[in-house]
Chains A and B, each alone.
Chain A
Amino acid sequence: MSTFDLTKSSVRELNAALHTLKDDTNDTLWSVLNPNGEHSIAAGVDAAVAINVQGSVGYFCGGMNKRANIVVDGSAGQGVGENMMSGRIHVKGDASQSAGATGRGGLLIVDGNASARCGISMKGIDIIVKGDVGHLSAFMGQNGRLVVFGEAGEALGDSIYEARLFVRGPVAGLGADCIEKPMRDEHKAELIELLAASGQDHKVDVAEFRRYGSARKLYNFNIDNAGAY
């Protein structure tokens, strides 16, 4: 196991070391001590390794992650897992705004709450938030799934494309062109599968979730819809 103590070495050294990892590396277990809210920890990793960050991180932890399995044993600042491609990021505390922004793949799990704009412009990532999400979550969401065990703030799914949203608690308000859709058996099955794949099954009853997505009314400009923009 490789250990990086960020009171002794810099984020730059940590990332440089992580970026040199080859596919056949034996160095598959990394531990980061004293992250102290530093930014860009484990950004741009492209290797199937496990990285355990023991404490809270600043902005853009795991940004553009490919394949790595990153666990943050604390809370995460803005843009955790932004534009991640694959792999998995698990935040054990809360996440600040824009968690998983523009994510294209992989899985982001937040045990606590996520703030505003969670999953903004998401493009294929799966995000599971076990607490609540703030306003404008999944704004312009193109693809992927956002699952919220708690509540969602104002303007959920504003201007949404094809991202799919599952929220268990109350939703303060839906954004432009986002509507509630029936939760049919196939959607329950999909949710069960997603929760199982992420090790979150048995924790909640999928029957309690409601499904939201695009009404697809704003896909092509229509003057009679101008008021909705």
Chain B
Amino acid sequence: MTSHERNWVPTTPRKSATFDDYTLSEIRRASLTGIYDIRGGGSKRRLPNFDDLVLLGASMSRYPLEGYREKCGTDVTLGTRFAKKPIKLKIPVTIAGMSFGSLSANAKEALGRGASLAGTSTTTGDGGMTPEERGQSETLVYQYLPSRYGMNPDDLRRADAIEIVIGQGAKPGGGGMLLGQKISDRVAEMRQLPKGIDQRSACRHPDWTGADDLEIKINELREITDWEKPIYLKVGASRPYFDVALAVKSGADVVVLDGMQGGTAATQEVFIEHVGIPLLSAIRPAVQALQDLGMHRKVQLVVSGGIRNGADVAKALALGADAVAIGSAALVALGDNDPKWEREYAKLGSTAGAYDDWHEGRDPAGITTQTPELSQRLDPVIAGRRLANYLKVMTLEAQTLARACGKNHLHNLEPEDLAALTLDAAAMARIPLAGTNWIPGGV
């Protein structure tokens, strides 16, 4: 034995926290392919979220309501400002806009069925309105996007509300993307594009810029639809105070605010993880803008981005939102990333719960695909039922929490019902740190 070998003491191999396994694999992937990573879904890293808040419940000074027996209302009306026909929903959880193209026609139909069973609305997306989803959706919101794919006055009039999309939480400032694999004949025809090309939807609207123009655009849409339909404005969370104030100025009936956790069908990973702010930090400034303008509850606020359960709903409403929207969670309820397809996820180099190559169109669950053999795996009736069940559970959970706080309507939840568990959440949501009356940075 040499002296060097005698002195050798093994140490635990140490991996870098900065260059973790994922980072290393991404560097290798980039150096091999020469293209950024594109994927679906929302931000995957840990961000301040609703788990960092708790509800305080009732105590000596608050009176709880009896679970199950005492009423706790859940209904919400959207679009009361200018529209002749506001949207009346039984529950404050709506289905977010997800395009036909990114999703199969069966998946779109299932979303419509589930939403209708639960008494809520669903939303079209970047790709126009399909007859399947219009047919199965009692209340359908029609998106008006920069690409204007499939846009026409007949569908506009067939819609129950119109949502002008300025941006999305996953990619504020970015346009859409649908890669060639998913541009089937039907998708190509609806978008008036050649089959099989990589399709990039514009990030800016083609015929207006700025809030003054937008006001005129909104009026045009109102004129075309004879002032019947509520007009929503969807923004990605980045400068929520100013964006919401400008939305109100532009004449929107409803503002949809989508936090950075929000899902997408296909976007650059770098965009998903590094642009925009978490929903938790965006709601208070948005509500503040509405309050400063005397418009809170008059222009309704719908928030989305990482909403998973009734607790998230209750907390979002307590912070001042009127309703929430879900995208990713709805897809999971339909069957996305279900472990029953594990063998197929493994073949695609992924695992159930992590599969996000939605842009490739090879989704084993048959949801984010245009391939008939895959999409027929999703039965829209059964999947719709599952979504309705899930929406019902979310609502019951939110009611349970609201009753515990003594509220006979979800909308009576308020910031005073909340405490924060972390300094970050306390500062971002402007909620006192639990056990203190301290809000970092002041109210």
Sort A-B residue pairs by CB-CB distance and give the 3 closest, nearest first. A44-B224, A79-B207, A223-B34
B:192-211 near A, CB below 8 Å: 192-194, 196-198, 200, 202, 206-208
Contact of B216 among A60, A83, A223 (CB under 8 A): A60
With A39-B219, A219-B197 known to touch, is A121 a contact of B35 (CB < 8 Å)?
Answer: no
Q: Is there a chain B Cβ closer than 8 Å to A50's Cβ?
A: no
Least CB distance from B131 to A in Å reads 18
Contacts of A168 in B (CB 8 A): none
Q: Is there a chain A Cβ closer than 8 Å to B147's Cβ?
A: yes
Q: Is there a chain B Cβ closer than 8 Å to A78's Cβ?
A: yes
Contact with B along A41-68 (1 / 0, CB 8 A): 0011010000000000011100110100
A98 and B223 contact, CB distance less than 8 A: no
A102 and B35 contact, CB distance less than 8 A: no
Least CB distance from A41 to B in Å reads 9
A interface residues with partner B (beta carbon < 8 Å): 11-12, 15-16, 19, 39-40, 43-44, 46, 58-60, 63-64, 66, 78-79, 82-83, 85, 97-98, 101-102, 104, 117, 120-121, 123-124, 139-140, 142-143, 159, 161-162, 219-221, 223
Contacts of B179 in A (CB 8 A): 221
Least CB distance from A31 to B in Å reads 19
Contact with A along B149-175 (1 / 0, CB 8 A): 001110010000000000000000000
Closest to B156 in A: A64
B151 and A162 contact, CB distance less than 8 A: no
B216 and A39 contact, CB distance less than 8 A: yes
With A40-B216, A102-B148, A142-B193 known to touch, is A15 a contact of B223 (CB < 8 Å)?
Answer: yes
Contacts of A143 in B (CB 8 A): 192
B interface residues with partner A (beta carbon < 8 Å): 33-35, 147-148, 151-153, 156, 179-180, 191-194, 196-198, 200, 202, 206-208, 213, 216-217, 219-220, 223-227
With A60-B216, A83-B151 known to touch, is A11 a contact of B223 (CB < 8 Å)?
Answer: yes
B153 and A85 contact, CB distance less than 8 A: yes
A-B contacts counted at CB < 8 A amount to 109
Contact of B207 among A102, A140, A162, A223 (CB under 8 A): A102
B206 and A59 contact, CB distance less than 8 A: no
**B interface: dominant SS:** loop
Least CB distance from B433 to A in Å reads 46
A120 and B192 contact, CB distance less than 8 A: no
With A219-B198, A221-B198 known to touch, is A43 a contact of B207 (CB < 8 Å)?
Answer: no
With A59-B213, A85-B153, A98-B207 known to touch, is A64 a contact of B224 (CB < 8 Å)?
Answer: yes
B198 and A40 contact, CB distance less than 8 A: no
Contacts of A142 in B (CB 8 A): 191-193
B153 and A79 contact, CB distance less than 8 A: no
Closest to B224 in A: A44
A121 and B202 contact, CB distance less than 8 A: yes
Contact of B198 among A46, A59, A220 (CB under 8 A): A220
